[in-house]
Amino acid sequence: MAMAPNASASVTPLEDDAKAGDGHISAPGLQGFVFALFFIFGGITSLNDVIIPKLKELFDLNYFQAMLIQSAFFAAYLFISIPGALLVKKIGYMRGAVAGLLTMMAGCLLFIPASQTAIYGLFLFALFVLASGVTIVQVVANPLISLLGPPKTAPSRLTFAQAFNSAGTTLFPYVGSIVILGSLATVSAAELSGPALDAYRAAESRVIVHTYIGLAIALAVVAAVVWAFRNRLKGEAHEASTGLGGFDLLKRPRFGFGAMSIFLYVGAEVAIGSLIVSYLMQDSVMGLGEQAAGKLIPLYWGGALVGRFIGSAVLRFISPAKVLSFVAAGSIVLILIAANAGGEVAGYSLLAIGLMNSIMFPTIFSLASEGLGPRAADGSGVICMAIVGGAVIPPLTGGLADIGGSLHFALILPAACYLLIAAFGLFARKPVTPL
């Protein structure tokens, strides 16, 4: 999922870092490192799509309960965004990045006791801690990539960073499906009880533990390198915190509607990504096994990667508001096909929604923030909190699947989200009064 605020610029070769003095931070050679942060947090976020079917089987969960994985993860955006920003303002970007990476590492290591005790709630807690670190890293990475170079080329760096984010969301689920879903046993948790069930869950969840231990080691290495660069930034400065003042911006119709659209977009994107494996496994769709279905998740996130490059060119010539309405309408059409067709047509229609999603976050962000002027930073903080939609919409979608007895029926909620996003695109065509 992209967190950069501008998708309308084309990707250009990165320029050499210049000296500080025109409003940006000087740190030669650090840009590539920030791109790596985008890759890491994008990949770890999309890995949830793989562990959902794994834990759903191990704990014999219904769809609502399984979607609580996304709730535990994305709830961190609601609770950690503002504290994370305060932390970064206090200790600086590089030390803030280290704090985020170490928090992510702690979350990965918490999978060890979660597996040993075979308690689902501990897995959810581990994911919340992991996501708290991801949130802090995003608080660092998004503004930092803008400041690491001249302001006039910031859009190019942001677009390039989004590509790394998408590369992570494309690669991690494929590898994760091989490592995690490929190990599902032939015995079902529903067939066991008592000590045998606990032993089965502990044994089968070890592969998840091994995966996240590997990630913890990688994060420790990255954190050590960032720490070594902690004093490389020159010209870093932060304004005094204004607390929660940004919430008054919600009274502005354009911004309030845009923040709600971010909430709906992230929720719909995550809900669909979380259901891909279960959806493709249905006999009425493609009848695939867990691992084979998991390997197709990268098509969903890879569509966002491709669409980002296409969108960066299209948005140069066509109104962003019109493009947003078009792709939102396209998502609705694809959902209708997926919900009413069968076989590969239904399966690939669902996967193609990733292409429609590609430009939504940055376009909604820029349209909502238009005219905020000196309040842009406050607006960014509020919009970051709106990402909590990823914690709310997925379990509601899962609940609809349980109530209606069909994943096809549950897609009505993401479709409703996209309908409101299309409406925001039409609304945002009107000029906005600057602050």
| Residues contacting 175, CB < 8 A, separation 6+ | none
Euclidean distance between CA atoms 308 and 41, whole angstroms: 18
Residue 92 belongs to domain with CATH number: 1.20.1250.20
Contact indicator for 129, 107 with CB cutoff of 8 Å: yes
More confident residue, 4 or 123: 123
Lowest mean pLDDT among 63-72, 196-205, 322-331: 196-205
For residue 321, give its domain range: 248-435
Q: Name the range with the highest mean pLDDT among 110-124, 176-190, 234-248, 265-279.
A: 265-279
How many structural domains comprise the chain?
A: 2
pLDDT band at 8 (very low <50, low <70, confident <90, very high): very low
Q: Is residue 394 domain-shared with residue 431, that is, in the same domain?
A: yes
More confident residue, 195 or 99: 99
Backbone angles phi, psi at 234, to 5 degrees: -125, 135
CA distances from 294 to 181, 184, 202, 349, 351 (A): 7, 12, 22, 16, 12
pLDDT band at 262 (very low <50, low <70, confident <90, very high): very high
Q: Is residue 213 domain-shared with residue 280, that is, in the same domain?
A: no
Q: Is residue 82 domain-shared with residue 224, that is, in the same domain?
A: yes
Q: Is residue 154 domain-shared with residue 278, that is, in the same domain?
A: no
* Residue 5 maps to a domain: no
The first and second tokens of residue 71, run together, are 């709730």
Please state the length of the chain: 435
Euclidean distance between CA atoms 113 and 5, whole angstroms: 38
CA distances from 399 to 155, 273, 355 (A): 40, 16, 26
Task: Return the ∠ at Cα 418 (arms to 295 and 170), rounded to 5°.
Answer: 20
The first and second tokens of residue 390, run together, are 């990823």
SS3 262: helix
- Please state, as a whole number, how many other Cβ atoms lie within 10 Å of the Cβ of residue 358: 25
Query: Please, what's the b/e burial string for 212-239 (b: 16 or more CB within 10 A of its CB; e: otherwise)?
Result: bbebbeebbebbeebeeeeeebeeeeee
pLDDT band at 58 (very low <50, low <70, confident <90, very high): confident
pLDDT in tens, 28-45: 567 777 888 889 988 999
pTM above 0.95, yes or no: no
User: Of 176, 201, 234, which residue is a domain's last?
Assistant: 234
The pLDDT value recorded for residue 7 is 33
User: Of 234, 269, 289, which residue is a domain's last?
Assistant: 234
Q: Is residue 391 domain-shared with residue 324, that is, in the same domain?
A: yes
Q: Is residue 98 domain-shared with residue 218, that is, in the same domain?
A: yes
